[in-house]
Amino acid sequence: MRAATRAVVAVLATTATLSFVVQPVQAHPQAKSLRSVAPRDLRIGTAVAGGGHHVDQPYPDPFTYDKPYRKVLAKEFNSASPENQMKWEFIHPERNKYNFGPADAIVRFARDNGQVVRGHTLLWHSQNPAWLNEGTFTDAELRSILKKHIFTVVGRYKGKIQQWDVANEIFNENGEYRPENIWISRLGPGIVADAFRWAHQADPRAQLFLNDYGVEWPGVKVDAYEALAEQLLAQRVPLHGFASQAHLSMRYGAPDQLAGVLQRFDDLGLKTAITELDVRMDLPEGGVPTAEQLQTQASYYKTVLDACLAVDNCNSFTIWGFTDKYSWVPVFFPAEGAATVMRDDFGKKPAYYALRDTLARARR
Ligand code: XIL
């Protein structure tokens, strides 16, 4: 018991109301948040809203300007993933110009609030700047552009990033490399190994991940990742983890085989993570989910958390935003929405309580 509490207890003991009063006197500011009840070896994260689709919305940059948002962000989570602020188009908008300010601000906020940061992302087909997509570079130039970017960005945050999504969404649903990935299509799949090697040289302590969606059920896409992981590990490439984004829709059923998928990568000696969980639904007219929909959504969230908890080295569980106010879902999936664990006003949905109860039970 801390000294201040002891003093209060001493006074109150004489009034015989001790057991009733002691608790509230020292109520911890983190009491009952997701992070405070979670098992100590599991990070609870969220995407940090800004950039990307937010730029076209009728509100100012959420992370920078929404004070209540920042409060919930600090209170509930001990891991933070820049939603867009470390992507190529955002952080490297011109060939010789970097825009580090917003990413720096997130890293600072995370440090001040006892949060780790997941870096996202280094080698991806999407959200690349026009100068890169439309440039006329030789293969050798392209390779050196990627190498320089990785050394610059990973190097800048050296020691401050817990996990990097080095390669994002490199496979199609059929398990083949995505033809629209400029790096792989121009330089060949060997560039993936190089990206991991460069990231490792730039920050030897960061855990380096493969990250994708559509890997929540077994299938050819998961097979492709397993084969790639085995190959990279056999080549002594510094690959440390495999992550399921877990962008789910209630149209397709609960991810009830996810633990089995994660276990296959755990068996290879890799860490696993859930990196972008949200659960979208078809909204009824009026846009307000029914009580039944919210229960189903809660059960999906719980299924994903249970899967992570069931696997030894699944130590990072991140949801892709915590309030519907800023979710990317309605912008990208017409007619679907309400995908996060809180309403626009940060009111908690059943999914929030499902996560918190499950975390609290797992900690005990
Ligand atoms: C999304 C962001 O949430 C949006 O703000 C942006 O406009 C588009 O990208 N997989 C990923 C994430 O790896 O980076 C994507 O984030 C969602 C799908």
DSSP string, 265-294: HHHTT-EEEEEEEEEEEEPPTTSPPPHHHH
Distance 123 CA to ligand 1 centre (A): 14
* Ligand 1 atom closest to residue 169's alpha carbon, by position in its atom list: 13
Locus of tokens 């296959």: 264
Candidate list 76, 83, 226, 276, residue with the active-site label: 276
DSSP string of 6-58, one letter each residue: HHHHHHHHTTT-HHHHHHHHT--TTTT-HHHHS-TT-EEEEEE--SGGGGGSS
* Distance separating alpha carbons of residues 281 and 287, to the nearest angstrom: 10
| pLDDT of 79 above 50 | yes
Nearest CA to ligand 1 atom 16: 83
Task: Report CA(361)–ligand 1 centroid distance (Å).
Answer: 31
Cα(158) to ligand 1 centroid in Å equals: 24
Average pLDDT, the chain: 93
Say how far apart CA 223 and CA 135 lie, in whole Å. Answer: 34
Give the dihedral of Cα atoms 13, 19, 20, 25; nearest 10 deg: 70
Out of 83, 169, 216, 226, which one is annotated catalytic? Answer: 169
Angle of CA points 253, 258, 260, to nearest 5°: 135
Q: Name the residue of 320, 324, 336 whose CB sits within 8 Å of the most ligand 1 atoms, as the mutation to test its pocket.
A: 320
Lowest model confidence (mean pLDDT) among 31-35, 104-108, 136-140, 286-290: 31-35
pLDDT number for residue 210: 99
Say what the pTM is: 0.92
Quote the CA–CA distance of 138 and 131 in Å, as a whole number: 14
- With contact defined as beta carbons under 8 Å apart, do 39 and 315 qualify? no
Query: Catalytic: 83?
Result: no
Among this protein's residues, is 134 annotated catalytic? no
Model confidence pLDDT, tens digit, residues 14-42: 333 444 444 444 444 445 999 999 999 99
The pLDDT tens digits of the residues spanning 205-222 come to 999 999 999 999 999 999
In the reported structure, the alpha carbon of residue 83 is separated from the centroid of ligand 1 by a whole-number distance in angstroms of 7
Token pair 């100068």 is at which residue? Answer: 131
Residue owning tokens 């307000």 = 288
